[in-house]
Amino acid sequence: MRYQNTPVVLWSNWRLKTAITKTFISTNMCGIVGYIGNGNVYDILIKGLHRLEYRGYDSAGIALVGNDGNLKVYKAKGKVSNLEDYCKDKSLEAGVGIAHTRWATHGEPSDCNAHPHYSEDGNLALVHNGTIENYKVLKDALIQHGCKFHSETDTEVLVQLIEYIKVKNNCSLVDAVREALNQVVGAYAIAVIEKDHPDTIVAARQSSPLVIGIGDDETFLASDATPFVEYTKDVVYLKDEEIAVIKKGEPLRILNLDNRESTIDVKTLELSISQLEKGGYPHFMLKEIFEQPITLRDCIRGRIIEGGAKINVNGINDNKDIFLNAKRIVIVACGTSWHAALLGKYLIQDMCRIPVEVEYASEFRYSNPVLDDRDVVIAISQSGETADTLAAAMIAKRMGAFVFGISNSVGSSIPRETDSGTYIHVGPEIGVASTKAFTGQVMVLTLLALGIAQLKGTMPQEKIAEIGEEVLRIPDYVEKVLKLNDEIEHLSLIYTYARNFLYLGRGYSYPVALEGALKLKEISYIHAEGYPAAEMKHGPIALIDAEMPSVIIAPNDHLYEKIVSNVQQVKARGGSIIAIVTEGDTEIKNIADHVLEVPAMPECLTPIITSIPLQLLSYYIAINKGKNVDMPRNLAKSVTVE
Ligand code: M6R
């Protein structure tokens, strides 16, 4: 993401000047995909759109140029399957094509506002992920020059602008794209095709991801590599202000906005097709919940050595002095990642005795933060693309703090823009509700805290080794907890029609309560609130009655006796209780209506285990209600809008 702190003056060539002072540019979500080659263009693009649907599913569309020289654009409101239905009786023959799945920002979800957008003369079609912030002024100028618009989108302005410049300057598509992008303020990943040149795609990026896949006699492009992973592992991540010229039968060329050639840095993908399929599960969310023993093993691998005694997290070892001298750690994140961040605070404070603050990235970025070069800022983001988290990280970097990223997406913006960091290595998470990424984030934060504690000597080595050994057993504990599946499925039937839920926990179990409530809300649309259990008596206890179930996370930790009395307080007011307890629990078992038992382990590791029954509970309640758990309404996986 680019930081611009000076006014950008546009339009010198149109004699229309506007000064726009920008801070950070945020992108919208959406997924784009493009293909040129001898394969079945339509099939490749549709399959690619399905893989990118996690980025938005308000509408989808496709543009194809056939050997007959016709540009065909088909679009449909709603999911990609609607587009497929619409295309059933259409002419789909093509040698090149681009496609789009949309999360609406400018203009409601509709057929008309769906991408691809095309120029008025029907010569160009364009797909766009991003936001053109000066689109109104551009649109007015184009209207003055006789352009007519059909949609409410910022994207249509861009395609009309490119066509206008192309005709006016009588230039090539790539020159027109470059000229247009020099006039645009905003974020974009775009792909453009031209009716008269069916051998070329021009693509470009600024602040929105775009990756090019290079195959044998075929080239792909997409918002991430998932649409083409089965065809090629050779990829080029386009950088900001770069334009790719993809021409059939010719090597890829990359130019920058000044028309200078860039070097092409081909990387090899570490992603397999099986990671992108449901593997026999009815939903990605369930698959991802059940993958956790494997993903946690992958996450831990190589980071604990000598049987638990040595913590080996690269990002820390490479920056020892920074972590040794940090006067404060600030963690910025959103949503589920914020819940992991809150656990990070408890872990780091407990183990490393460094003060930690946890901030919603969206608040932090506008809060006039106080930071200096002895602060470490940790930015946590599964996708690595969340606009607020990225902006918060950039502000922190600009203020001199050392910025450390924790992400799951290799090559995404946060890993690229931060000073150092580490991956959680849990593989692609496709279900919109985060599950395996949460446990991966918490695991990495646990290792980070243990690693810093080992460096600083703030914990006895025997204690580190004891916890380290237990960390190595976590995947086995998770396997055991997953055996609660049938019991939880059965339990979910009792609670499917509850209209509200409370989730309560103390200490390490409080962030787990917040995460459990978020999971239920986002996929079942049931109102749920997470609370520190002891806060109940300061107000929320008034809500308790027979209609208000509470999920209480109460493992056998140092606050156990305290939470027992909170459980009693809820019971005394007639509320029903589902409790997550440690195996062998007797006290809460006698009070709660239902208990789910998890294995005993050190207190700091309980969140990884206690969160899993909550993931399953929300999954089954949502399924009982007939909800689409992988694509809940109004949400998208990568939140690249403010
Ligand atoms: O990709 P990120 O971790 O930055 O995403 C942050 C949130 O948007 C994300 O965790 C969201 O809250 C999930 N839908 C939760 O399941």
Tokens 């801070």 belong to 23
How many contiguous H segments (helices) and E segments (strands) does the chain have? 19, 28
What is the rounded CA–CA span in Å between residue 161 and residue 167? 10
Residue 543 belongs to some domain of the structure: yes
Residue 119 belongs to some domain of the structure: yes
Query: How much is the pLDDT for 151?
Result: 87
Q: 429 with 552, same domain?
A: no
Tokens 């207190």 belong to 603
Percentages (nearest 5) of helix, strand, coil residues in the chain: 40, 25, 40
Residue 6 belongs to some domain of the structure: no
Whether the CB-CB separation of 433 and 519 falls below 8 Å is answered with yes
Residue 312 belongs to some domain of the structure: yes
CA distances from 361 to 28, 186, 381, 443, 509 (A): 17, 20, 10, 21, 22
Q: 548 with 465, same domain?
A: no
What is the rounded CA–CA span in Å between residue 115 and residue 290? 36
> Ligand 1, closest atom to CA 637?
14
CA distances from 423 to 264, 407, 442, 619 (A): 25, 5, 12, 26
Residue ranges, the chain, pLDDT below 70: 1-28, 106-107, 640-641
Q: 210 with 283, same domain?
A: no
Taking the centre of ligand 1 as the mean of its atom positions, its distance from the CA of residue 626, in whole angstroms, is 23
Q: What is the DSSP string of 460-488?
A: -HHHHHHHHHHHHHHHHHHHHHHTTHHHH
> How many domains, in total, are found in the chain?
3
CA distances from 27 to 2, 286, 333, 447, 506 (A): 11, 30, 17, 32, 37
What is the rounded CA–CA span in Å between residue 329 and residue 375? 6
Query: How much is the pLDDT for 22?
Result: 34
Residue located nearest, by CA, to atom 14 of ligand 1 = 433
512 Cβ contact partners less than 8 Å away, ≥ 6 residues apart: 339, 343, 505, 553, 606, 607, 610, 611, 614
Q: Which residue stretches of 152-262 are H helix?
A: 154-169, 173-181
Query: How much is the pLDDT for 426?
Result: 94
Residue 196 belongs to some domain of the structure: yes
Taking the centre of ligand 1 as the mean of its atom positions, its distance from the CA of residue 456, in whole angstroms, is 32
Structural domain of 180: 14-274
List active site positions. 30, 637
The tokens for 597 are: 């038992």
What is the rounded CA–CA span in Å between residue 534 and residue 163? 63
Residue 7 belongs to some domain of the structure: no
> Ligand 1, closest atom to CA 438?
10
* Pocket-forming residues, ligand 1, beta carbon under 6 Å: 334-337, 381-383, 386, 389, 432-434, 518, 522, 635, 639
H or E, element range at 439? helix 436-456
Taking the centre of ligand 1 as the mean of its atom positions, its distance from the CA of residue 490, in whole angstroms, is 28
Q: 173 with 205, same domain?
A: yes
Q: 57 with 106, same domain?
A: yes
Query: How much is the pLDDT for 12?
Result: 31
User: Which among 247, 274, 301 is the end of a domain?
Assistant: 274
Q: CA torsion, points 620, 624, 627, 630, in degrees to nearest 10?
A: 30
Count CB-CB contacts under 10 A for residue 268. 9
Q: How far is CA 355 from the centre of its chain?
A: 28
Residue 3 belongs to some domain of the structure: no
Taking the centre of ligand 1 as the mean of its atom positions, its distance from the CA of residue 374, in whole angstroms, is 28
User: Which among 234, 257, 274 is the end of a domain?
Assistant: 274
Residue located nearest, by CA, to atom 12 of ligand 1 = 335
Q: For a pocket test of ligand 1, which of 224, 445, 639, 640 has the largest count of ligand atoms closer than 8 A to its C-beta? A: 639
Q: 64 with 124, same domain?
A: yes
Q: 307 with 263, same domain?
A: no
Residue located nearest, by CA, to atom 4 of ligand 1 = 381
Q: For a pocket test of ligand 1, which of 382, 445, 634, 637 has the largest count of ligand atoms closer than 8 A to its C-beta? A: 382
The CATH code of the domain that includes 186 is 3.60.20.10
Half-sphere CA count of 62, side-chain side, radius 13 A: 32
Q: Please say whether the dihedral angle defined by the alpha carbons of residues 486, 490, 491 and 497, taken in this order, is positive or negative.
A: positive
What is the rounded CA–CA span in Å between residue 267 and residue 141? 41
Query: How much is the pLDDT for 106?
Result: 67
The CATH code of the domain that includes 620 is 3.40.50.10490
Q: Which residue stretches of 292-354 are H helix?
A: 292-300, 314-317, 320-325, 335-352
* Residue-wise pLDDT tens digits, 181-236: 999 988 899 999 999 999 999 999 998 889 999 999 999 999 989 999 999 999 99
| Bridge partner residues of 550 (DSSP) | 502, 577
User: Which among 239, 274, 309 is the end of a domain?
Assistant: 274
Could you tell me the strand order of the sheet in which 267-268 lies? Answer: 71-77, 59-65, 96-102, 31-36, 219-222, 211-214, 234-237, 267-268
What is the rounded CA–CA span in Å between residue 113 and residue 82? 15
Q: 32 with 145, same domain?
A: yes
Q: For a pocket test of ligand 1, which of 337, 339, 444 has the largest count of ligand atoms closer than 8 A to its C-beta? A: 337
> Ligand 1, closest atom to CA 414?
4
Q: 231 with 318, same domain?
A: no
Residue 456 belongs to some domain of the structure: yes
Q: 34 with 71, same domain?
A: yes
* Residue-wise pLDDT tens digits, 68-95: 889 999 999 988 999 999 999 999 999 9
Taking the centre of ligand 1 as the mean of its atom positions, its distance from the CA of residue 505, in whole angstroms, is 21
Q: 422 with 503, same domain?
A: no
Q: 53 with 175, same domain?
A: yes
Query: How much is the pLDDT for 411?
Result: 77
Q: CA torsion, points 174, 177, 183, 186, in degrees to nearest 10?
A: -130
